[in-house]
Amino acid sequence: MKTVKFFSIVFMVLTVGIFSCSKDKTTTPTAPLVTKTVSDLVADTIIGFAASGQPFGAGKYTFFSLENNAIVPSSDSATNKWDIAFRGTSIITNSGNSGPAQGGGFVFTGLFDDLKTIPADSAFKTDNAPASYAITSGSNKGWYIYNAPVNLITPIPGRVLVIRTATGKYAKVEILNYYKGGVTPAATATDEEKLKKQRYFTFRFLFQPDGTKVF
Amino acid sequence: MRLPLLNILLLISFAVNAQQASTDSLFNRNLEEVVVTATRSERKLSNVAVPVTLIQQKTIRQSGSLRLPDILAEQTGLFITQSFGKGVQMQGLSPDYTLILVDGEPLIGRTGGVLDLSRITVGNIRKIEIVKGPSSSLYGSEALAGVINIITDRSNARKLQADLRYGRFNTLDASLNGSTRMGKLSLGAFVNSNSSEGYSLRPNAVQKTVEPFWRLTTQVNIGYDFSERTHFNLTTRYNYEDIQNSITVQNLGTQVLSKGKENNRDLNITPTFSHRFNNQIKTTFRGYITQYNSKQSLEVKDQLIGYNDQFKQEFYRIENQTDIAFSDDHNLNAGGGYIREFVQSNRYDSLQTKRSNQVGYFFLQDEWRPLKNLSLIGGLRFDANSAYASVWSPKLAVQYRVTEKLRINASVGRGFKAPDFRQLYLNFTNIAAGSYSVFGSLVAKDEVLRLQAAGQIDNILPVFEKLTDLNPETSTGLNIGAQYDPSKKIKTRINFFRNDISNLILTDVIAYKTNGGQIFSYLNISRAFTQGLEAEASWQFNTSFNLSGGYQFLMTADKDILDAIAAGEMYKRDEQSGISSLLTRQEYAGLPGRSKHMINLKLFYENPSQQWFATARAIYRSRWGTSDIDGNGVINRDDEFADGYMQLNVSGGRNFARGIRIMAGVDNLLNYTDPENMPGMPGYNWYVSMSFDFGKFKQTRKQ
């Protein structure tokens, strides 16, 4: 019984191998998709403190093109040149009332590498600031959690930002860190250090240029 | 409050009255060890079928303990937690789930679920009984993990004893304890003052780690024997606590120094009347009147911010317990009672609103020995309530004596903790920090609907619909163990335990305000377990040396987290790369604040003439989870733990003639500190003390 099972597995593996080999020969070769990592993307770092003691930045978003893996100048904020933008913990998409394009996105629960195909029934959302965003804002609601006792912001593990780009293509993004150099300050670090080093995004992403939802 | 003054006056009268020497020395050895807490009736320790630890006064004295947490910290399987005062973790369960009794009556006044055990002085404790495992079948609410019963010295021998101790951080502790007997009337009184200037573990911080405090405890017992069979006793205990707080408050971006004050008062009055009809039947009526008053205020100079919080709790109980001995092998305990409880606080609505609850209960316990070496105990209690669902709490225990040296015990029981007033009625909105609100489960619906009508609610979550009846938190606990005493000098004990807890009450977001603030309430949403193994051994080497040790192995988990791990829905984040991956069962470290290993090792020495004594006690605790850092809400990464540590305490002393005793010691000799996770541990802590026994003084003079 066991040997029969073994042989059938060997047979299956062989046939699949032969089948995929022949398939490779017939399709035109495409460049393999490469996951890219962006480090220390500055997202409206803190420049002062309000009378209430609340820290504030200049209030400006940093725009980013996933298609070109490059920061887009803010003068191009009203164009289709950018896909997502960062300001503090807020992440916007080029959609709804955030930008002119038909982008959007949602927060997927699962692992970056396991997300091979965006599920067909996924609901892409668009921005409707300030009421709602495609990438849900707020602690423990979207991509991050704020740990009040130690005053630190941490990306929630197992969250993937699925993005529909400005040109209607798809990408997946994982936020890796919110602090400078990709290192979260120690819980015992001073509040000053925690505030000085925050709002620096490190993230990795995979952009699918062929317009499909398959990575 | 006039009471303390009265007590002091009483003590002075004892000084005059103490003519006769006391016959009960502190140092009587090998007394028959009898416990009352496990079965609510006197039983020999070796006959009890559930895990019981007994701490005698002598051990407490020689260990140089001042407050209850000092001596509990040295017991196997107990850990002293440090949030909202000092609480005790037993069988891996939080302090909320251990019932604290003084002479069989529950102490009230918990903050955040924790009863600050520092409120209790050990100065007049005769013994401490610790019963592990669910005991709600006898004691009702809060007895999930177990019961700690502090039995005070109510002896009616003529004596008067004074104690004075001074130590690091200007800690001063003074006690006077006296008792006398006049025919059928016996009187006892105790007063203790305990103060310290506190300490700072962070030299540059304005705020001290422990602020200066002063505590006063007084207790008076009056006993009257109507006859051999009929006794009356009245105990009054009063506790006062005053804590200074210097806090720096962030205001308009600048640091403002502010003066805070905390004041806690605690009064207990216990009248007891007992009558023995005959050799078979005894009945006891107990009354209990207790109040807890807490005031916390913060004043910031020239500012309107700050607070003035008040909390007042009243608890009144009447109870009867009747013990019937059908035969030597068959005993029945039956009882019932009624509780009326009130709470007023400006954090629940207003100070004028009195919230109340009523509980009626009865319990039955049958102890039967069908065979000479087999005893069975069955117990059942019913608690009916006005504020939440009623509860049945059964318990079954078996003891089998395999030989004179080996006994096997097993017990299974249910425990519960009733929702407290905070969980039912809290009405708190923090305007400063994000404008969040916390509403008790009974007021949350009305409050949210009221805010909605005022247009302040953005979004109500589905969980809001579940807000109605908060059920008591319940547990089922299993204890299986054995005691093996190979000789009179060597005693060993082992116990396996497992507690399955359901309906755990946690806060959860029920709605969002239009300004982004979250609204929380209390819901029965969590399930957990704790399990482990406890082993103890003691070796009386000769008349002088006693070596003992204990070990607890503990495993805990949130069952919902385990389900999520099994379903592949729990993730973790790598510290270096930041990349997420699946969390495995092995990586999940269970509930925070629990150490997997706890070890104690104690050596007690006393010279044969009992003049000199010395002790050395080491306590080890392995690392424990503190807070989540990688964002998944659970403890799994190495940087989410506090370091394990060892604490070494030593003491020694000498008894002189005329009842004088001098003692000195150092707690935490290795000077271990961890300001972040162990703020209540001040580094090494030395002390010297002196006691004086007036009775012995006169006795020696007469000779």
Quick: pLDDT tens for B685-701.
999 999 999 876 655 44
What are the CA-CA distances from residue A58 to residues A47, A77, A88, B13, B579 (Å)? 7, 16, 10, 76, 30
The two three-digit tokens of residue B112, written as one number: 């955040």
> Each residue's pLDDT tens digit in chain A (215 positions)?
444 454 455 444 444 444 444 444 445 556 788 999 999 999 999 888 776 667 888 889 999 999 999 999 999 999 999 999 999 999 999 999 999 999 999 999 999 999 999 999 999 999 998 888 999 988 888 999 988 778 889 999 999 999 999 999 999 999 999 999 999 998 888 888 899 999 999 999 999 999 999 99
How many angstroms separate the CA atoms of B455 and B609, rounded?
80
A119 assigned to some structural domain: yes
A147 assigned to some structural domain: yes
* B676/A187 Cβ within 8 A: yes
A10 assigned to some structural domain: no
Q: Are B372 and B386 in contact (CB under 8 A)?
A: no
Q: Are B689 and B162 in contact (CB under 8 A)?
A: no
pLDDT of residue B701: 47
Chain A, residues 154-213, CB within 8 A of chain B, namely 154-159, 174, 176-177, 182, 184, 186-188, 202, 204
A154 assigned to some structural domain: yes
Domain count, chain A: 1
For tokens 């197992």, what's the residue?
A158
ipTM: 0.81
Phi and psi of B375, rounded to 5°? -125, 145
For tokens 């573990």, what's the residue?
B201
pLDDT in tens, B377-416: 999 999 998 877 889 999 999 999 999 899 999 999 999 9
A8 assigned to some structural domain: no
Instruction: Please tell me which of the candidates A49, A112, A182 has its beta carbon nearest to residue B580.
Output: A112
Instruction: Please tell me which of the candidates B580, B627, B676 has its beta carbon nearest to residue A157.
Output: B580
Residue A116 C-alpha, separation from nearest chain B C-alpha, in angstroms: 15
How many angstroms separate the CA atoms of B153 and B684, rounded?
30
A90 assigned to some structural domain: yes
Q: Binning pLDDT at 50, 70 and 90, where does residue B359 land?
A: very high
Residue A96 C-alpha, separation from nearest chain B C-alpha, in angstroms: 21
What mean pLDDT comes out for the span B193-215?
84
Nearest to B629 by CA among A77, A29, A150, A212: A150
A114 assigned to some structural domain: yes
Q: Looking at the predicted structure, is the pLDDT value of residue B351 above 50?
A: yes
Chain A, residues 116-155, CB within 8 A of chain B, namely 138, 144-145, 147-150, 152, 154-155
Supply the pTM of this predicted model: 0.87
How many angstroms separate the CA atoms of A11 and A3, rounded?
12
pLDDT of residue B33: 85
A86 assigned to some structural domain: yes
Three-state secondary structure readout of B180-206: EEECCEEEEEEEEEEEECCECCCCCCC
Q: Looking at the predicted structure, is the pLDDT value of residue B23 above 60?
A: no
pLDDT of residue B303: 63
Give the Cβ contact number of residue A200 at 10 Å: 19
* A51/B577 Cβ within 8 A: no
How much of chain B exceeds pLDDT 70, in percent?
A: 91
User: What is the domain extent for residue A83?
Assistant: 28-208
